[in-house]
């Protein structure tokens, strides 16, 4: 069963984030991805996250789709104009990629090519509209396609916002759903209470809200996230638990596994597992969540 059917059937889906390499050696990427085959439901391939130059999501997704399993390819507005975005979406579909996640993309100033000019020829709502048009058989210029792509389309939502910002986010979320978005990935979640206002307003059992379960790597990382990542809360209790753990790496994996279990129990449609470089630990997290 593919990802779309799993969502429709109400199955809890596990997406595993696999970053393409910075270079052409794909062996580690493929090895890590192969380790989650049969455990995760699909691989999410980011498009140069944090504006750090590496192999494109299209390249990574094509390789992984062919060698390992179903992929969800990220597509962003930062690096490509409307010609290139549409061209890559056609290429992705023709190469068997059926899942895409549309995002705005971080500014180049976040990354390792800070002198780069961002494109933003079209914005996220326009990108979603263009994806819809492609699926209807026409490009953005209204010209008929010779065969149209069909995608399961995802995007992002930030439930950690509060007050007026959260209300605006809900409006944006509705716009995305109206534009054909079928699942929404949210930023790292460590504490369900931190998104309580959102959960009061949105039935996460009906809308496919996919929290990111980010693998912590150290006490320092946990503290850093809590202090510096907007709208992401790591509780003092969790930080203390990590501090006390004799084997911190094992504890980090355990925390991630537990979070997957909690989110499944709470009725979320799935999770995105993100490890930021520790992709060889993905399988352990999934195994731990099932134990």
Partner 1 sequence: MIVADKKPIEEIIGEIKDYTTILILGCNECVTVCEAGGKKEVGILASALRMYFLNQGKDVTIDERTLERQCDHEYLEEIRDVADQYDAIVSLACGVGVQFTAEKYHAVPVIPGVNTCFLGATETRGLWTERCQACGECILARTGGICPVSRCAKRILNGPCGGASNGKCEINKELDCAWQLIIDRLKALGRLDDYENISPIKDWSTDRAGGPRRVVREDVQL
Q: How far is the CB of 48 from partner 1 (least distance, A)?
A: 14
Segment interacting with partner 1 (CB under 8 A) among 25-33, 104-112, 241-249, 269-277: 104-112
Separation CA 134–CA 120 (nearest Å): 19
116 binds partner 1 (CB under 8 A): yes
Tokens at residue 212, please?
A: 């990111």
Residue written as tokens 């950690």?
Answer: 160
Question: CB-wise, 117 or 227, nearer to partner 1?
Answer: 117
**Nearest Cα to 179, choosing from 112, 131, 240, 119?**
131
One residue of 11, 106, 107, 121 binding partner 1 per CB under 8 A = 107
Q: How far is the CB of 152 from partner 1 (least distance, A)?
A: 32
Segment interacting with partner 1 (CB under 8 A) among 97-105, 107-115, 223-231, 274-282: 107-115
Separation CA 43–CA 65 (nearest Å): 9
Segment interacting with partner 1 (CB under 8 A) among 52-60, 84-92, 114-122, 213-221: 114-122
Separation CA 103–CA 126 (nearest Å): 11
Segment interacting with partner 1 (CB under 8 A) among 9-17, 112-120, 240-248, 263-271: 112-120
Count CA atoms within 13 Å of residue 93 on its CB side. 18
CB 269 within 8 A of CB 260: no
H or E segment at 211? strand 209-214
Q: How far is the CB of 73 from partner 1 (least distance, A)?
A: 25
Question: CB-wise, 108 or 270, nearer to partner 1?
Answer: 108
One residue of 20, 46, 99, 108 binding partner 1 per CB under 8 A = 108
50 binds partner 1 (CB under 8 A): no
Q: How far is the CB of 116 from partner 1 (least distance, A)?
A: 6
Q: How far is the CB of 6 from partner 1 (least distance, A)?
A: 39
Tokens at residue 31, please?
A: 């090895």
Separation CA 193–CA 199 (nearest Å): 9
Contacts (CB under 8 A) with partner 1, residues 219-278 = none
129 binds partner 1 (CB under 8 A): no
164 binds partner 1 (CB under 8 A): no
Question: CB-wise, 53 or 201, nearer to partner 1?
Answer: 53
One residue of 26, 95, 118, 245 binding partner 1 per CB under 8 A = 118
**3-state SS record for 221-281:** HHHHHHHHCCCCCCCHHHHHHHHHCCCHHHHHHHHHHHHHHHHHHCCCCEEEEECCCCHHH
Q: How far is the CB of 117 from partner 1 (least distance, A)?
A: 4
CB 129 within 8 A of CB 100: no
Instruction: Give residue 242's Cα distance to chain centre.
Output: 26
Question: CB count, 10 Å around CB of 46?
Answer: 22
Size of the site for partner 1 (CB under 8 A): 8
Helix (H, G, I), strand (E, B) or coil at 207: coil
109 binds partner 1 (CB under 8 A): yes
The residue ranges that bind partner 1 (CB under 8 A) are: 107-109, 114-118
């Amino acid at each position: 069963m593919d990802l779309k059917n799993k969502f429709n059937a109400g199955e809890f889906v596990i997406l595993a984030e696999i970053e393409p390499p910075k270079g052409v050696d794909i062996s580690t990427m493929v090895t890590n991805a192969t380790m989650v085959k049969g455990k995760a439901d699909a691989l999410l391939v980011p498009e140069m996250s944090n504006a750090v130059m590496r192999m494109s999501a299209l390249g990574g997704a094509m390789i992984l789709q062919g060698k390992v399993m179903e992929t969800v390819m990220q597509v962003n507005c930062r690096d490509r104009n409307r010609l290139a975005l549409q061209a890559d979406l056609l290429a992705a579909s023709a190469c068997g990629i059926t899942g895409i996640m549309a995002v705005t993309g971080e500014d180049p100033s976040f990354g390792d090519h800070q002198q780069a000019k961002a494109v933003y020829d079209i914005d996220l709502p326009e990108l979603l509209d263009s994806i819809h048009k492609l699926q209807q058989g026409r490009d953005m210029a209204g010209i008929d396609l010779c065969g149209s792509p069909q995608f399961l389309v995802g995007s992002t939502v930030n439930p950690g916002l509060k007050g007026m910002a959260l209300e605006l986010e809900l409006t944006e979320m509705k716009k995305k759903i109206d534009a054909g978005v079928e699942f929404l990935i949210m930023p790292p979640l460590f504490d369900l209470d931190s998104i309580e206002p959102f959960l009061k307003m949105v039935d996460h059992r009906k809308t496919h809200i996919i929290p990111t379960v980010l693998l912590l790597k150290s006490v320092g990382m946990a503290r850093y996230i809590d202090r510096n990542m907007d709208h992401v809360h790591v509780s003092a209790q969790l930080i203390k638990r990590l501090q006390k753990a004799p084997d911190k790496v094992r504890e980090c994996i355990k925390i991630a596994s537990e979070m997957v279990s909690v989110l499944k129990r709470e009725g979320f449609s799935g999770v995105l597992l993100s490890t930021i470089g520790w992709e060889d630990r993905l399988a352990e997290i999934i195994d731990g969540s099932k134990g």
